[in-house]
Structure 1
Amino acid sequence: MPSLALAVDFGGTKVEAALVDADAAVVPGSRHRHPTGPDRTADQLDAAVAEVVRGAVSTLPGGVDLAGIGIGSAGPVDVAAGTVSPLNVPAWRGHPLADRVRALVPGVPVDLRIDGLCIALAEHWVGAGRGAHNLLGMIVSTGVGGGLVLGDRGAPSPSGNGGHIGHVEVGGFDDACPCGGRGCLEAIASGPRTVAWARTQGFEGTTGEDLAAAHAAGDPVAIAAVERAGRAIGQAVASATNLVDLDVVAIGGGFSRVSPALFEHARAAVTRRTAFDFVRRVKIVPSGLGDEGPLIGAAALVHRPELVG
């Protein structure tokens, strides 16, 4: 039986857990999911985590021990303390997520990191970033997260929040962000904030799925909203590439699938933003792993510890 990791992914919309083997394959039948969200209490969120962790562990084959537990969480995080304070989950501030999971599965080592780093590790390991030495992994969903692989390793980060591109401020925008900034990428290009902007322009839908359907149908407000989000992503990517000379930006998350046009606008914005050839060479691509990417990245903390800065 191959070595198995318990992978946990906690975000602003849902928490998931699954068993993942050393070849980055999610074990069939082991994946469990529960909603989260900004209206849940701390106890409800803890109960959701416990439900999915216990569900995944219950599928562990007899006689097989877990090699470890990897947790990816929306940030900010405090790696040294094992705590999380997801911006879009106000009930958790300095919440001891690592200890909560450790208590559910005693005796198994736990490694907690920001979800953006996990997606970057997954894409570098088996996804769209294979062969790239400098990679930014991004999640565009309820929020916008990110993580960096530089020189084939996760970028060193004292607090664990390195690469959190969602709170880089983007020129030409003034949207207020809960982090205290203005014009942050997350405040412009996340799914909920893009829908909110579209509604100020007369759009009547309420979800990213509504916006995707309207975009596919040619609705001009939906088209403008996706262009706006893509342009902001591209500008942020161009700035990040100027800073750390990226080869690839791999983007996953539910809202990243709103339309292929999101990527087209992001690429066009990079070209408009800079005359530097080393920046224009960056490739902006969809995740190669679909919605399993965050779980595979959490498992990389266990199976590929040499990748972790």
Structure 2
Amino acid sequence: MQNSTLKWIYLVVLSIIWGSSFILIKKGLVGLTPIQLGALRILFTAFFLLLIGWKSLRTIKKAEWKWIIISGVLGTGLPVFLFAYAETEIDSAIAAILNSSVPLLTLLLGLTLFGATFLKRQLLGVLVGLSGATALILIGASINPSQNYWYALLVISAGVMYAFNVNIIKKYMQDISAIAIATGNFIFLIPPALVLLVYSDFFNQELLRSQEVQLSLGYIVILALFGTAMAKVMFNKLVQISNPVFASSVTYLMPIISVMWGVLDDEKFTIWQFFASLVIIVGVYLVNKKTKTT
């Protein structure tokens, strides 16, 4: 199948998978702390990837391991904890919508640090998208006074890390297979994840017998297998066959899936939040729309 077709298939599938990840995080937090959720997500994912990708590690050159480690920390290691903490205070749908600022952040970092070219319309898209994200945070804080919307900054911080990661993959890891990148990422995340899990008192026998914890573990296994392991490999491949801004546009469609899940789970979503979300999507559209290069 040609890359021009394959990249769109990857984009849609990833949107569905990652769009569903936010509600799985929310459900996982019912019985687990953010530290436990993040650590378990890393460990389960590492297990799945090692089963299928162990041999691919041989293809990674010694000089490339530096970028593999950096990519692992920025693309997964820190964001999984930031999102878990964010969703202790803000709705899953809002977290997903804020995450749609990733293409805008990818463009900004690409321009300033990675020597990417830019378009006039893309610059306008960045400004429009960031204004929509700001409005969404302010509106959410007003209609959900019991929620601490400062936690939305954790989502934005994770978005910055994703933006760094996607530019790093495109510039420095173009010749490494997608499965090797993903597996290599998680090799170095296993030790800190284990330490954090032990520190969190997860292995307390009374805690493990809790029905809430067991149910949450089920959600995290699903999240790790599909939302992290499989999606990570697909995303790495998408970056390689397209470009950083197109690949990060997966966040363009994710909010649609996330809002559907959020509404089904009785989360509040007003018409004003809908309009603010549209502003973000318009910004992402402008970033991806081709026009004359400046």
State if a TM-score over 0.5 links the two structures. no
Larger fraction in helix: 2
Larger fraction in strand: 1
Please report the TM-score for the alignment, with normalisation by the length of structure 2: 0.30
